[in-house]
Structure 1
């Protein structure tokens, strides 16, 4: 199975190696951009040909899950588009389709492609982690399969972000700060932070992501000058960035730390916003209670508390998230669900000869906890690929799901039930199950994955689940239009996409 991290072996011909990296980066960056374009502003005509709704032009691609080799029909012939040409086409199409220009997003598309090239080159030199869980978290070179610029890193020089990139197998110590005690703001259980080092009298310990410190240096300079902040060195061990980039894991303490990062990654500036932090205890408590009462065996990685400085509430916030101890079934290995879709060395999918039993076990692990949280507790998990960990046994068979990210949880007490269900269907079915189903079908062309999904959903006494089996369409999030029109990243908008669950 071809993976994004597999490049031709280095032959000593640096020019050839650069060309190979460049071609691979083009392909990795084009696939999600084409997925967005074809889902949101195109009409399929068959044989890989699509009519673009804004300009009425014809676009042809090869492949379905990861579209490739885009060609535009003009002057009676098909003309191949390189990545730059594809970005230009998308900009023209979206300007016509929406009636408004956008000068930032095309630059992000180019930045995303250049980031992939830098990551591929760095991975060829890096030593990957031995731990299969960490390897899965650091495998997402292509990333979100339906985003126009999934790997953009804010447009800064490569040297500013590459040392902290999970996809480059980074690991690094975090900076330890002392915050004057009267300036500390915190909520929940943050005692784990105090195990990372020691603060002098009158100060509290506050770990900080070194990239965020660089980004916020000008804003924080007065606090360092007047003693509200002091530097205390670094942690005595490296932490590993996970797929979310700003969330780090320390195996030594079995602890996750989530930081603010003033960089746009996919749809949002990844800062820990004050309004999200202030409601976090409520959403996390609701999710934790739902999993504590669940009979599914699934686990919830609780965002147990945050600590920050009052004068830099969002810039210096750090969130403490549970590790695996007491939550992971003994003898199992957690794997990032998104990594199963993208592929990584050691993936259990590589060992499958008959995918049916594995897929049925996977569905039993991930579907019941999400439906039970919704139906029994009014908790809408953001159960997409990047928030789902699947624990596998020694044979690679899924036996448990672990969910995370209280920031993305919605409560039915706050949103209409129909809106909550739509969000769950998008995250769990469209973003998650459909992507993995397609990956399995691509590996095993004779395998039909949706019968098992229908059977799993039918086991649950939930009216919405029953209706889902006959609905003609599912909600597909329009990330390209969201970004082009400048909508808030949390303001999800959907376009109907064909429902593979509907009986044929």
Structure 2
């Protein structure tokens, strides 16, 4: 296994491991037995841990576990923690352990399909607990099977090892996929062969991206580098980089943001009697020139490749509803969401002077914009096609969100989605949505950074230059938290402020001074949604997804400040609750007092086939709760001196 392959395996392991630990495991308190064996060596011709999963497992006929009177299946559906069954887990013997194929290639191929659970006699004693190293990794017990998993802890857990009853066995990504599949099948009683294949495809995509990046030039603009930095992707999704329906990596790498892609858009002409549109579409008309009787329609070249051969598309070109007009003069850059691209203004930022974080440069010139396309590819939980009802939702919701941010006193900004255009008869296939560019919204002299890239890392990351993490974190909190809470309390707007929808503008020192939010499709208004689920969604996006990951990245760099970060965060939430003129927010007190918050259960949701718009949640520890924070300390008090001048 070469360095690139090892890097791909590590990047693919972390999100799946996060899912498994959040959704299917609990910390295990294990003593250190004397004379525990070391991890077994790799089999000939294989990397360590490449063989089939072995170790204690639950007997299939052992019956459902009962937790507070609920069966295992009911507990999983209701998100109740599930403990091990009464059948004591144990190591397999020669008669029960699966035999590894003699051929190493066959062994690796066997890992692509989850092996059956290993039957274990009920009267067999439990194996000895594993060793507990002096510089301890974390040990977890998997709830469904009782097996023990050891990981290297931290912001990005890694290096999983399974306790075999005699030693720790390293698990590469393929082994972790097999283990996760066994656990989810045991916990839910439901088989699923497609998700393990997606997990394997996600890991293959990571390796393909890393290979391409070796010879590709990153964008010069630091904001674009941050948008195209997410090689690992969603840190709590089992297959964040799979492109299901998009073909092998060779067919889509030229459109992948992680591979530093840039490409011209295809320009189509739509006959005027076939145009379907809403909003101010002048930005689309400015992309080129359409012949008389036609209107301009940009198209994503990948979507045209995917849909171009369908009968309805061929018919539209044959009857003259669509004509090809060439390509855009300016190259587009795909952003983190893949289907949304950035179209620069008159002076493309990637060909101008190098924009450095310390250089006070805006990432775009006047006339820049974003275009969001339908893309018939499943990425994470959904096929990224713009549905008719979603576009109508955007056109209802975006004016309300835009008005809310315009009425706020602070510098926070919203990227409005001002119009869409598509083709009659091909409404969802050819839809394009126009979103404001950054240039008109950023404070002068600032540089934007995608919040998700702060945690993943990239060349130009402001976190790499800070010396006072609490001051930086206080500034970040002041940018992000107040506008999100004010939008909810005063205007009844739920901003989907997760990491990929949040941009942070930093000054010359890398200090946050402004938050910019995007994606009206994910935004909600209380006039159309009950308050309780709306608040749950906000709490998940703001605290569990956004703040927790950025705080984790800071604590990884500055281990001494972990608890202090959340003390500062709690202070900021309490301060927001007392802002003059802000309507009472009764949910805020409950948020700060609750021991848990809703965490998205992506592994469970995908395993049971839950709709992407109706994911399952489970309780995760609330870092804002009183037991999680420390009393004010000198460093925390000093952090107040680092507030940006624009903070409310």
In the superposition, the TM-score normalised over structure 1's length comes to: 0.95
Q: Distance in 1 between matches of 2:165 and 2:575?
A: 55
My pick for the range that moved more, 62-71 or 397-406, is: 62-71
Q: Distance in 1 between matches of 2:156 and 2:513?
A: 29
Asked if residue 319 in structure 1 is aligned to residue 433 in structure 2, the reply is: yes
Give the aligned partner of residue 538 of structure 2.
424
Counterpart of 1:43 (choices 17, 26, 30) is 26
Q: Is the 8 A contact 2:151 2:158 kept in 1?
A: yes
Q: Is the 8 A contact 1:384 1:432 kept in 2?
A: yes
Q: Distance in 2 between matches of 1:97 and 1:503?
A: 32
Q: Distance in 2 between matches of 1:21 and 1:465?
A: 46
Q: Is the 8 A contact 1:37 1:480 kept in 2?
A: yes
Give the aligned partner of residue 387 of structure 1.
501
* SS of corresponding position for 1:182: helix
In structure 1, stretches of 5+ residues that fail to align are 1-17
Counterpart of 2:572 (choices 427, 437, 456) is 456
Q: Distance in 2 between matches of 1:104 and 1:184?
A: 38
* SS of corresponding position for 2:390: helix
Instruction: State the Cα deviation string for residues 166-203 of structure 1 (Å, max 9, x = none).
Output: 11111100000111111110011111011111111121
How far off is 1:328 after superposition? 1.1
Give the aligned partner of residue 210 of structure 1.
301
Give the aligned partner of residue 135 of structure 1.
225
Summarize the alignment of residues 60-459 of structure 1 with structure 2, pairs less than 5 Å apart. 60-154=150-244, 156-219=247-310, 220-252=313-345, 253-447=367-561, 448-459=564-575
How far off is 1:204 after superposition? 1.1
How far off is 1:391 after superposition? 0.5
How far off is 1:259 after superposition? 0.4
How far off is 1:466 after superposition? 2.3
In structure 2, stretches of 5+ residues that fail to align are 30-136, 346-366, 578-584, 628-648
Q: Distance in 1 between matches of 2:440 and 2:372?
A: 20
Counterpart of 2:600 (choices 474, 477, 491) is 477
My pick for the range that moved more, 150-159 or 122-131, is: 150-159
How far off is 1:89 after superposition? 0.9
Q: Distance in 2 between matches of 1:116 and 1:159?
A: 12
Q: Distance in 2 between matches of 1:437 and 1:344?
A: 17
Q: Is the 8 A contact 1:457 1:466 kept in 2?
A: no
Q: Distance in 2 between matches of 1:297 and 1:351?
A: 24
Instruction: State the Cα deviation string for residues 277-335 of structure 1 (Å, max 9, x = none).
Output: 11211110111011011112100000111000011100100000001233111111111
Over aligned residue pairs, what C-alpha RMSD do you find?
1.1
Instruction: State the Cα deviation string for residues 451-478 of structure 1 (Å, max 9, x = none).
Output: 1100100012232222211111011100
Q: Distance in 1 between matches of 2:277 and 2:604?
A: 37
Q: Distance in 2 between matches of 1:325 and 1:289?
A: 19
How far off is 1:64 after superposition? 3.2
Give the aligned partner of residue 3 of structure 1.
none
Q: Distance in 1 between matches of 2:250 and 2:331?
A: 19
Q: Distance in 2 between matches of 1:228 and 1:413?
A: 38
How far off is 1:114 after superposition? 0.6
Q: Is the 8 A contact 2:138 2:151 kept in 1?
A: yes
How far off is 1:111 after superposition? 0.7
Give the aligned partner of residue 591 of structure 2.
468
Q: Distance in 2 between matches of 1:459 and 1:493?
A: 32
Give the aligned partner of residue 351 of structure 2.
none
How far off is 1:483 after superposition? 0.7
Give the aligned partner of residue 111 of structure 2.
none
Q: Is the 8 A contact 1:43 1:51 kept in 2?
A: yes
How far off is 1:138 after superposition? 0.5
Larger Rg: 1 or 2? 2
* SS of corresponding position for 1:238: strand
My pick for the range that moved more, 317-326 or 169-178, is: 317-326
Give the aligned partner of residue 23 of structure 1.
6
In the superposition, the TM-score normalised over structure 2's length comes to: 0.74
Give the aligned partner of residue 617 of structure 2.
494
How far off is 1:66 after superposition? 1.3
Q: Is the 8 A contact 2:484 2:494 kept in 1?
A: yes
How far off is 1:222 after superposition? 1.7
Q: Distance in 2 between matches of 1:104 and 1:372?
A: 42
Q: Is the 8 A contact 2:475 2:511 kept in 1?
A: yes
Give the aligned partner of residue 7 of structure 1.
none
* SS of corresponding position for 1:297: coil
Instruction: State the Cα deviation string for residues 24-43 of structure 1 (Å, max 9, x = none).
Output: 01000000000001101111
Q: Is the 8 A contact 2:594 2:622 kept in 1?
A: yes
My pick for the range that moved more, 87-96 or 381-390, is: 87-96
Q: Distance in 2 between matches of 1:186 and 1:39?
A: 43
Q: Distance in 1 between matches of 2:138 and 2:424?
A: 55
Q: Is the 8 A contact 1:384 1:427 kept in 2?
A: yes
